[in-house]
Chains A and B, each alone.
Chain A
Amino acid sequence: MSAHGASEGPLERFAVSPTRRRRDKAARTAILAATVIALIPLVLIIYYLLRKGLGSWSVDFFTTDPTGNTFFKNSQIGGIKSAILGTLEIVALASAIAIPIGICMAIWLVEYGRQSRFANTVRFAVDVMTGVPSIIFGLFIYIALVVGTGSTYAGYKGSLALALLMLPVVIRAAEVILRLVPGELRESALALGAPRWRVTLRIVLPTALPGMLTGVLLAVARAAGETAPLLFTAGATLKTNFNVNQFTNSLPVQIYNDVISPTTSVEHRAWGAALTLVSMILLLNVLARFVSRRSRLG
């Protein structure tokens, strides 16, 4: 830390008094200390994830299904194949639903709805949805698709719950970028005789798409780590399953069930699965940062 304000020589009488200087030093030290404290949990989490998680990683860990939570030896608890594949299925389907709908909603808000009362109501609803706890989205889908329908949990219901969670994030991200598309671009296309729908779909959308990708990837990353919306929609199972109309396992639910299980041997599986999940999410985040650097808008 460098000294500020203290001057020597003819400006001596403007010098900062020792008390004030001490106070400045103390405050700055406290701020630095708090910043270091903020980083301690991150270091500890990463350290423990690597230490415990890498220990349970092996080829078998990724190629076998888990064997449940009963009393097994470490070597018999199985891997997380069904959880990895299930997470990929559920999140891919959720993205396939939420991303197109979210972008369409954003296009409507920016190009058609604008500042109309209806559009502002929709914006308000999107704002409200952003703050809704994730478990409530699980309850919504449970009410709509599980209770009273005679059916039970299924992977696609988990996808719908995650899609609800992603939707407001995607809409917001896309709206921000669409607003950045210069009005001159639209006006020149319209002046050349292009109809409105062509301007929207062929000029505005392609210009904005690369910029939207960052927000979209962050939304996908957030959805991939969610446990609560999946508990009562996708359920949990041990077997690998490519049919999203049945119970589908996922990494977060697998970790949760291992953590709350009374058996300690499955703790290793939880750490290994957690390291896998965090790696996947970090990859998406890095990708989002990389993409945002390459976009011309935003």
Chain B
Amino acid sequence: MAPSAPSTSALSLRDAVALSGRFPLLAGVDLEVARGETVLVEGPNGAGKTSLLRVCSGLVPLSSGRISVLGLDPVRQRNRVRRRVGLLSHASHLYDDLTVRENVRFAVRAAGADPGRIDGACDRLGLTGRLLTTNSGKLSAGQRRRVALAVLTARWPELWLLDEPHAGLDASTRTTLNELVAEASASGATVVLVSHESEFVGSLAPRVVTVAGGRVTSDRRVGRHGSPVGPRPTAPSGTRAQGAVTHVA
């Protein structure tokens, strides 16, 4: 029997294959992310970065391979995983006929998080005054993104999955976002960032994973300003994350 990987694993994918119909979204991804780690995932359009995040959040099931998220099976223990994972995707998941405050309140309560954090999160993202009582349908794309970030901030999940988080944000909100990512990481949360805009990610992610063609093609550590410091030491072969794993033949 293969020895178990350390229990500090937040994400563990082994030969993960995900399909959309017959089209491969992921074509055998091997990835291990430790708890508290911040990882930047980069790669060309259509490489499978967004699909990787959707698989990790449990939105897309694996066709084959193994996955463990925070030590849990994201299919069999779907709701437990989802309440501990926050995904900032291209969509903001907002209801146009609800106000900003109502949207944040609904999302936070639905996730079982503490509604007491809502006001602080909205303040942090500049959602104050009349903006709070404005219907989300009237917001700009950047403002909608800020609301989605406020939800994530109020929830403060254990695993942050951020898909192009800087897209559409103004300079000050980008700074706030970077501060939030740094705080999340410092508080022990795991952050997986997908971004083409490495200049905005800066020194946030000491590890960069490159995805192409649905596979991980490179996994390296970088210095504070993005300079490479060499490939990431690979785990001993045959290691597995502790906790439940999905194995679909």
A binds B: no
Chain B residues near A (Cβ < 8 Å): none
Chain A residues near B (Cβ < 8 Å): none
